């Protein structure tokens, strides 16, 4: 089936988007050899092979055997048995097999000769060919008693090299010019992997002794996808050795479907989805394909889950993406168990969770700056351990979980699993706190990097219901990057949490409040503007010795005083000016506060002049002169007085 072709069964997802992969397999099977198909769980390996099987069975130039391996099977033998089952439907082929058997029967290996003879005898019209072949090929695996210490056990005798080769050789000769293809699904699940590997090794090392057109395709899980099954790793290593030994062996990694490159596939799939799930019709196409993200396993999950709305559909898609990466679950829960056994070894769990929560740019300098916040005293060798077990991408110097969907799958696991969630919250909060400690001054250019890191954690902090001040910090750092935030949100999270804060946190939150005040004013949201300013006042009173908060509060008060004239709110102007006077009286050494007070006095003097209120003007002018006389060496005050005098003379 070509890419973009609809499924014959409208209940099943259409087989689309795999044109390139099918073309590669078609090219491979034209020559003798072995192709090993690997890929993530539910990425579509079996579906691809089944379509290749059906395509070539419909082609009279091919004899195809397909077998899904189980733990009791001999893989190559049963794939050959399936080839015979389908070949028997061709009377010409069967006639040729009878002739070959009569000519060569005595020279065949004993079990093969007996099996072929029985098959031909059973292949009468009144008998089931399928049942006859199954019985005969099963009989090739005869049971024999083998004595072992402590008693006897039954062992099945696998087919020999000569037996498998003769079976396939007869099939090809009976088919004359027809090519042979054996497809073995989940090869690693076979009963005797060492024996099956030996058969394949013999084939690739001496292909001239085998049917000249034979090609074998193996479907193989990756060791990272099933760490509990030692056979998977064993099979993968066996294949790698075969690949090194012979150029006729090639591994092919099946990747996600690139729907963005295949418009026909997108169209066909959307038509099917709208038919199966009518509510999809009201959703943007880009949103649906964002959920799928090239993973055909999502379609299977939707079929089985039968979602009734887009939210459930999205949840099922997330579960499907997580299923593709079992090594993530395995490693995180291994670390969780390790922590439960010995709390002192819990650092690895929290490092892993921090890496999940905050993806790091592929920039070594950025990682060097952020690394202490992630590791928090843990040894760097821990990252090598994460790479070796497959948790982190082995090919990336900067710690990375690889594909964005892989990171998303890990994130969903960390924030939704009840057993993990408290630990994820702790990892998040310690990460935010550690990043905040890097703030030395709001004027330091380096804080942009740490601001971006903290702001990225807003979604995680909200989902995990982190402490309110930490969520407020994620919003505050957004404002430091020039992004607008909701004043209501800032107030809400600060109201929920009145924990004591260190100087860095106070600095970040006060800066966020100041910026939010500006945004609220720009939107004429005076109610929230005043509430934010009040919150900034509370913060200053709680941390009176924090110079950064004082300066931001003084700026906020100055701005608010300037706004009151346009708002015609003279009572508020006087109250705000009193707050600024009080701040200056409480901290007479703070030049930043003094400068804002002087500017406020100048502005209110000008207002009094405009309002034709000479008494108020003169009172404020006297206050300004007294301030200057008290601090004659303050250059900022000198400049303010000078500008005011120039404006007056003009």
In this prediction, residues 460-486 reach a mean pLDDT of: 94
pLDDT of 643 reads 80
* 572/338 Cα distance (integer angstroms): 60
**pLDDT reading at 434 higher than 70:** yes
**pLDDT reading at 309 higher than 90:** yes
In this prediction, residues 237-259 reach a mean pLDDT of: 93
**pLDDT reading at 649 higher than 80:** no
CB 167 within 8 Å of CB 80: yes
**pLDDT reading at 205 higher than 60:** yes
pTM: predicted TM-score of the whole model, two decimal places: 0.70
In this prediction, residues 486-511 reach a mean pLDDT of: 90
Q: Among 76-80, 211-215, 376-380, 505-509, which is the least confidently predicted range?
A: 76-80
pLDDT of 129 reads 52
* 401/355 Cα distance (integer angstroms): 8
Q: What is the dihedral of CA 99, 103, 108, 110, to 10 degrees?
A: 80
100: three-class secondary structure by DSSP: helix
* 95/103 Cα distance (integer angstroms): 13
**pLDDT reading at 569 higher than 80:** no
Long-range contacts of 258-264 (CB under 8 A, 24+ apart): 258/17, 258/294, 259/17, 259/289, 259/292, 259/294, 260/289, 262/3, 262/4, 262/16, 262/17, 262/19, 264/3, 264/4, 264/16
pLDDT of 143 reads 38
pLDDT of 618 reads 92
**pLDDT reading at 11 higher than 80:** no
Q: Among 105-114, 470-479, 532-541, which is the least confidently predicted range?
A: 105-114
pLDDT of 135 reads 59
In this prediction, residues 434-449 reach a mean pLDDT of: 85
pLDDT of 422 reads 96
pLDDT of 136 reads 57
The half-sphere exposure of 130 on its side-chain side, counting CA atoms within 13 A, is 1
pLDDT of 513 reads 94
**pLDDT reading at 229 higher than 80:** no
> Parallel, antiparallel, or unpaired for β 143-148 and 151-156?
antiparallel
pLDDT of 153 reads 40
632 versus 114: the higher-pLDDT residue is: 632
Q: Among 213-217, 362-366, 548-552, which is the least confidently predicted range?
A: 362-366
In this prediction, residues 467-489 reach a mean pLDDT of: 93
642 versus 17: the higher-pLDDT residue is: 17
pLDDT category, 126, cuts 50, 70, 90? very low
229: left (phi over 0), alpha (psi -120 to 50) or beta: beta
pLDDT of 446 reads 76
User: What residues contact residue 397 under an 8 Å CB cut-off, 6+ apart?
Assistant: 364
Extents of the domains making up the chain: 19-144+153-254, 259-324, 440-543, 545-650
In this prediction, residues 430-435 reach a mean pLDDT of: 97
pLDDT of 334 reads 92
**pLDDT reading at 404 higher than 50:** yes
- Give me the percent of the chain exceeding a pLDDT of 90: 54
pLDDT of 148 reads 34
**pLDDT reading at 124 higher than 80:** no
pLDDT of 138 reads 60
pLDDT category, 145, cuts 50, 70, 90? very low
Average pLDDT, the chain: 87
* 385/331 Cα distance (integer angstroms): 11
pLDDT of 123 reads 59
Q: What is the pLDDT of residues 46-65, one digit of tens each?
A: 999 999 999 999 998 999 99
pLDDT of 294 reads 93
pLDDT of 418 reads 93
User: Can you state the angle between helices 285-292 and 310-323, rounded to 10 degrees?
Assistant: 30
pLDDT of 131 reads 58
Tell me the CATH class for 19-144+153-254: alpha beta
**pLDDT reading at 436 higher than 80:** yes
- Give me the percent of the chain exceeding a pLDDT of 70: 91
């Amino acid at each position: 089936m070509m890419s973009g072709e609809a499924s014959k069964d409208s209940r099943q997802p259409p087989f689309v988007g795999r044109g390139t992969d099918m073309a590669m397999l078609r090219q491979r099977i034209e020559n003798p050899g072995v192709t090993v198909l690997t890929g993530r769980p539910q990425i579509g390996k079996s579906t691809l092979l089944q379509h290749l099987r059906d395509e070539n069975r419909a082609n009279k130039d091919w004899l195809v055997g397909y077998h899904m391996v189980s733990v009791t099977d001999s893989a190559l033998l049963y794939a050959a048995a399936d080839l015979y089952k389908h070949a028997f439907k061709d009377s010409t082929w069967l006639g040729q097999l009878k002739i070959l058997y009569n000519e060569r029967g005595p020279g065949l290996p004993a079990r093969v000769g007996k099996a072929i003879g029985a098959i031909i005898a059973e292949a009468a019209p009144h008998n089931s060919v399928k049942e006859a072949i199954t019985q005969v090929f099963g009989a090739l695996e005869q049971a024999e008693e083998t004595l072992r210490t402590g008693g006897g056990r039954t062992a099945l005798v696998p087919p020999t090299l000569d037996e498998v080769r003769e079976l396939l050789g007869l099939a090809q000769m009976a088919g004359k010019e027809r090519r042979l293809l054996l497809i073995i699904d989940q090869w690693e699940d076979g009963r005797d992997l060492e024996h099956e590997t030996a058969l394949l090794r013999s084939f690739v090392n001496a292909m001239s002794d085998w049917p000249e057109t034979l090609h074998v395709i193996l479907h193989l899980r990756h060791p990272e996808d099933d760490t509990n099954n030692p056979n998977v790793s064993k099979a993968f290593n066996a294949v790698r050795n075969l690949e090194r030994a012979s150029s006729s062996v090639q591994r092919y990694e099946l990747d996600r479907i690139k729907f963005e490159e295949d418009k026909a596939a997108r169209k066909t799939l959307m038509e099917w989805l709208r038919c199966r799930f009518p509510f999809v019709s009201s959703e943007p196409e880009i949103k649906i394909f964002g959920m799928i993200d090239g993973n055909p396993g999502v379609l299977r999950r939707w079929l089985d889950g039968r979602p009734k709305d887009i939210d459930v559909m999205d949840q099922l898609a997330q579960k499907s993406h997580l299923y593709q990466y079992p090594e993530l679950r395995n490693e995180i829960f291994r670390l969780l168990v390790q922590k439960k056994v010995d709390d002192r070894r819990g650092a690895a769990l929290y490092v892993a969770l921090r890496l999940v929560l905050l993806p790091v740019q592929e920039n070594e300098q950025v990682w060097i700056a952020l690394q202490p916040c992630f590791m928090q005293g843990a040894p760097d060798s821990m990252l090598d351990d994460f790479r070796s077990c497959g948790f982190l991408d082995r090919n990336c110097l900067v710690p990375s979980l690889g594909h964005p969907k892989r990171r998303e799958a890990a994130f969903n696991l960390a924030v939704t699993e009840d057993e993990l969630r408290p630990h994820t919250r702790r990892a998040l909060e310690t990460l935010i706190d550690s990043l905040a400690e890097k703030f030395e001054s709001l004027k330091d250019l380096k804080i942009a990097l740490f601001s971006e890191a903290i702001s990225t954690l807003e979604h995680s902090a909200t989902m995990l219901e982190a402490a309110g001040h930490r969520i407020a910090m994620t919003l505050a750092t957004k404002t430091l990057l020039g992004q607008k935030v909701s004043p209501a949100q800032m107030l809400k999270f600060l109201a929920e949490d009145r924990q004591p804060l260190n100087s860095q946190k106070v600095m970040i939150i006060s800066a966020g409040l100041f910026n939010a005040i500006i945004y609220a004013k720009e939107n004429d949201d005076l109610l929230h503007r005043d509430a934010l300013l009040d919150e900034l006042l509370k913060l200053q009173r709680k941390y009176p010795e924090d110079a950064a908060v004082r300066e931001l509060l003084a700026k906020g008060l100055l701005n608010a005083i300037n706004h009151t004239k346009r708002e015609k709110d003279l009572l508020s102007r006087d109250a705000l000016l009193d707050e600024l006077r009080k701040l200056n009286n409480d901290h007479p050494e703070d030049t930043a506060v003094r400068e804002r007070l002087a500017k406020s006095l100048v502005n209110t003097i000008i207002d009094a002049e405009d309002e034709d209120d000479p008494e108020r003007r003169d009172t404020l002018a006297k206050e300004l002169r007294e301030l200057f006389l008290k601090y004659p060496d303050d250059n900022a005050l000198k400049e303010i007085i000078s500008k005011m005098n120039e404006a007056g003379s003009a």
